[in-house]
């Protein structure tokens, strides 16, 4: 080893002539930690050492070795993302990782990622797919790299240096007022579906929120519906680590569903679960329009709550599977001679009709439970009176379903 006087941690290796720099890192309390940098020339290694010192000063620590992106993404999903996310969101993240991120750039070392690698992943995810697919993969990668930066594994989040793919803009179909009335008239003699589609159109609930609605969430006296649960089908995972030999995780004797800490969840029947929002801020109250009040009163008088107090159930009291609910919506549209629009369009119908009635964006967001709606405690009481007024107008708009 030949070390030049005055260069300190920079020296040239005698065996191969490569230049080496070593930078002292914070100790973990048990061992000495150093980052080693190797370059062909002295100028290159000195420049790299200076950059590493700047990164150390900014981040507080540096990784002494770097995993591949695939290794980091797997660690991130299990150790960091899983405790934060709802089970189905975690499944979506895992899909982006396994289908698009890992196949395209998973073999690149985490600390060697460049903006060019991110663009390569975009191109891979776009092949034969909507640009929204690439956008979702970009968001997952950006979140994983942000956590890597916080932990000192990388010095910058290269995903933040690249423009995210544009979201594909699709025209969202919605029923107009006449079509919504036609649907309600068509299902008026079917108590279950009359109530279900009335809630969908007159309260704007998501499918999971509607199917997860419980009797104690409906206060007919106060005219208020509380949205605080969702019914979701969750995917089983092997609890045995794959040792059982079963291909499908649902057949594993030790099957399990990973529920994040702090997430209140109850298995209702099979793979159907009742999930709370992770925080109470995710709850919302929707005023019950007089028309919806009449429909729900008739329905609840004749139908006992099912499992865990669910109001919309199968005849045996078990929850309605979301796939069966979607099929029932499609059949109801066909029976009413209406256009074939997706079930989620019921929410778009609510939003469209409220807009037509003059409800401002803040009011619509509060009714529909959009995450971007930020309502202070002082504004909530005012907003409730405003939303109640607009929900009443919406009910009046669709009231012809009750006329003989």
CATH number where 302 lies: 1.10.443.10
pLDDT tens-digit series, residues 274-314: 998 766 656 888 888 888 888 899 999 999 999 999 999 99
Is 101 part of a structural domain of the chain? yes
Which of 13-17, 191-195, 212-216 is least confident? 13-17
Copy the structure tokens of residue 328: 């029932």
Claim to verify: residue 128 and residue 51 sit in the same structural domain: no
Q: Report pLDDT for 171.
A: 54
DSSP 250-319: GG-TT-B----TT--EEEEETTEEEE--SSGGG-EEEE--HHHHHHHHHHHHH----GGGBSSB-TTSPB
Q: Give me 207's structure tokens.
A: 């499918």
137 within 8 A of 100, measured Cβ to Cβ: yes
- Domain for residue 345, yes or no? yes
Residue 288 lies in a domain: yes
Give whichever of 11-15, 22-26, 147-151, 196-200 has the largest mean pLDDT: 196-200
Decide if pLDDT at 383 tops 60. Answer: no
Q: Is the dihedral of CA 91, 93, 96, 101 positive or negative?
A: negative
- Return the structure tokens found at 247: 């291909």
Average pLDDT, integer, range 140-160: 89
Cα–Cα distances (Å) from 268 to 90, 160, 195, in that order, read 21, 41, 22
Angle of the 177-186 helix axis to the 345-356 helix axis, nearest 10 = 130
Instruction: Verify that 385 and 263 share a domain, yes or no.
Output: yes
User: According to the model, what pLDDT value does residue 331 have?
Assistant: 95
d(CA 323, CA 164): 32
Strand ordering across the sheet containing 33-39: 10-12, 19-25, 33-39
Of the pLDDT bands very low, low, confident and very high (cuts 50, 70, 90), residue 23 is: confident
Within-domain flag for 1 = no
Mean pLDDT across the stretch 86-110? 92
* Structural domain range at position 47: 10-59
Q: 274 and 303: one domain?
A: yes
Contact indicator for 230, 209 with CB cutoff of 8 Å: yes
Kindly state whether residues 374 and 248 are assigned to the same domain. Answer: yes
Would you say residue 221 lies in a domain?
yes
Query: What was the pLDDT predicted at 254?
Result: 81
Q: What is the mean pLDDT of the chain?
A: 82
> Can you say how many angstroms the Cα of residue 150 is from the centroid of all Cα atoms in its chain?
22
Q: Which residue has the tokens 């509380």?
A: 226
User: Please, which pLDDT band fits residue 7 given cuts at 50, 70 and 90?
Assistant: very low
Please tell me which residue, 93 or 54, carries the higher pLDDT value: 93
Residue 382 has pLDDT above 60, yes or no: no
Distances in Å between the Cα of 356 and the Cα atoms of 137, 177, 351, 353 are 36, 10, 9, 5
Q: Are 189 and 273 found together in one domain?
A: yes
| Domain CATH code at residue 91 | 1.10.150.130
Beta bridge partners of 273: 232, 267
Q: Which of 95, 127, 161 is the last residue of a domain?
A: 161
- What pLDDT score was predicted for residue 170? 56
- What does the CA dihedral 42, 43, 48, 54 come to, rounded to 10 degrees? 120
Alpha carbons 300 and 215: distance in angstroms, whole number: 9
Q: Is the pLDDT of residue 217 over 90?
A: yes
- Could you tell me the pTM of the whole model? 0.62
Same domain, 184 and 286: yes
> Which of 261, 246, 212 has its CA nearest to residue 87?
261
In this prediction, residues 98-113 reach a mean pLDDT of 94
Rounded mean pLDDT of 249-268? 81
3-state secondary structure of 240: coil
Beta-bridge partner residues of 37: 21
Q: What number of other Cβ atoms are within 10 A of residue 403's Cβ? A: 7
103 and 199 fall within a common domain = no
Alpha helices in 17-86 (DSSP H): 42-59, 69-75
Domain edge (last residue) among 161, 196, 231:
161
Same domain? For 201 and 347 the reply is yes
Q: How many domains does the chain have?
A: 3
Q: Is the pLDDT assigned to residue 379 strictly greater than 60? A: no
How confident is the model at residue 193, as a pLDDT? 94
The C-alpha atoms of residue 151 and residue 67 are separated, in whole angstroms, by: 13
Q: In this structure, are 76 and 29 located in the same domain?
A: no
Q: What is the pLDDT of residue 115?
A: 95
Question: What integer pLDDT is reported at residue 249 of this predicted model?
Answer: 78
| Spatial separation of the C-alpha atoms in residues 358 and 292, rounded to whole Å | 20
Q: What integer is the mean pLDDT of 186-202? A: 91
Pairing verdict, β 224-227 and 230-233: unpaired
Burial class of residue 300 in the structure, from the number of CB atoms within 10 Å of its CB (0-12 exposed, 13-18 middle, 19+ buried): middle
Instruction: Evaluate whether residue 46 is within a structural domain.
Output: yes
Lowest mean pLDDT among 324-328, 346-350, 397-401: 397-401
Answer yes or no: do 43 and 89 share one domain. no
| Statement to judge: residues 286 and 369 lie in one domain | yes
Amino acid 212: pLDDT:
95
280 and 383 both lie in a single domain:
yes
Please indicate, yes or no, if residue 4 is contained in any of the structural domains.
Answer: no
Domain end position, chosen among 96, 130, 161: 161
pLDDT at 390: 66
Residue 167 forms part of a structural domain: no
Average pLDDT over residues 174-190: 86
Which candidate, 285, 275, 277, places its Cα nearest to that of 368? 285
pLDDT of amino acid 246: 83
Higher pLDDT, 136 or 283: 136
Mean pLDDT of 83-90: 83
């Amino acid at each position: 080893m030949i070390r030049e006087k005055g260069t300190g941690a920079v020296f040239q290796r005698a065996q191969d002539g490569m230049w080496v720099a070593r930078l002292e890192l914070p100790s973990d309390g048990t061992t000495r930690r150093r980052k080693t940098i190797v370059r062909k020339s002295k100028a290159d290694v000195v420049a790299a050492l200076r950059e590493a010192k700047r990164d150390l000063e900014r981040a507080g620590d540096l990784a002494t070795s770097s995993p591949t992106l695939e290794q980091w993404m797997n660690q991130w999903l299990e150790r960091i993302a899983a405790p934060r996310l709802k089970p189905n969101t975690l499944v979506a993240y895992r899909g982006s990782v396994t289908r698009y991120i890992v196949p395209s750039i998973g073999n690149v070392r985490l600390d060697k990622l460049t903006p060019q690698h991110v663009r390569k992943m975009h191109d891979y995810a776009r092949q034969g797919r909507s640009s929204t697919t690439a956008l979702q993969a970009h968001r997952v990668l950006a979140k994983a790299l942000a956590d890597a930066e916080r932990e000192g594994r990388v010095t910058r989040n290269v995903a933040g240096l690249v423009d995210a793919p544009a979201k594909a803009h699709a025209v969202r179909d919605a029923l107009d007022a006449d079509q919504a009335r036609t649907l309600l008239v068509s299902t008026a003699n079917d108590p279950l579906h009359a109530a279900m589609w009335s809630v969908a159109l007159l309260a704007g609930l998501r499918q999971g929120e509607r199917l997860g609605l419980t009797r104690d969430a409906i206060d007919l006296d106060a005219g208020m519906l509380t949205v605080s649960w969702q019914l979701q089908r969750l995917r089983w995972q092997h609890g045995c680590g794959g040792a059982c030999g079963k291909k499908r995780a649902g057949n594993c004797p030790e099957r399990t569903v990973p529920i994040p800490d702090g997430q209140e969840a109850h298995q209702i029947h099979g793979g159907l679960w009742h999930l709370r929002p992770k925080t109470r801020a995710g709850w919302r109250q929707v005023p019950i329009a007089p028309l919806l009040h009449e429909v729900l009163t008739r329905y609840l008088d004749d139908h006992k709550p099912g499992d865990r107090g669910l109001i919309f159930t199968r005849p045996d009291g078990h929850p309605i599977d979301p796939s069966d609910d979607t099929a029932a919506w499609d059949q109801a549209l066909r029976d009413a001679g209406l256009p074939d629009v997706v079930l989620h369009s019921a929410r778009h119908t609510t939003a469209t009709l409220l807009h037509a009635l003059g409800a401002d964006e803040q009011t619509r967001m509060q009714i529909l439970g959009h995450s971007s709606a930020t309502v202070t405690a002082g504004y909530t009481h005012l907003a409730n009176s405003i939303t109640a007024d607009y929900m009443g107008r919406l009910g009046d708009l669709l009231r012809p379903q009750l006329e003989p």
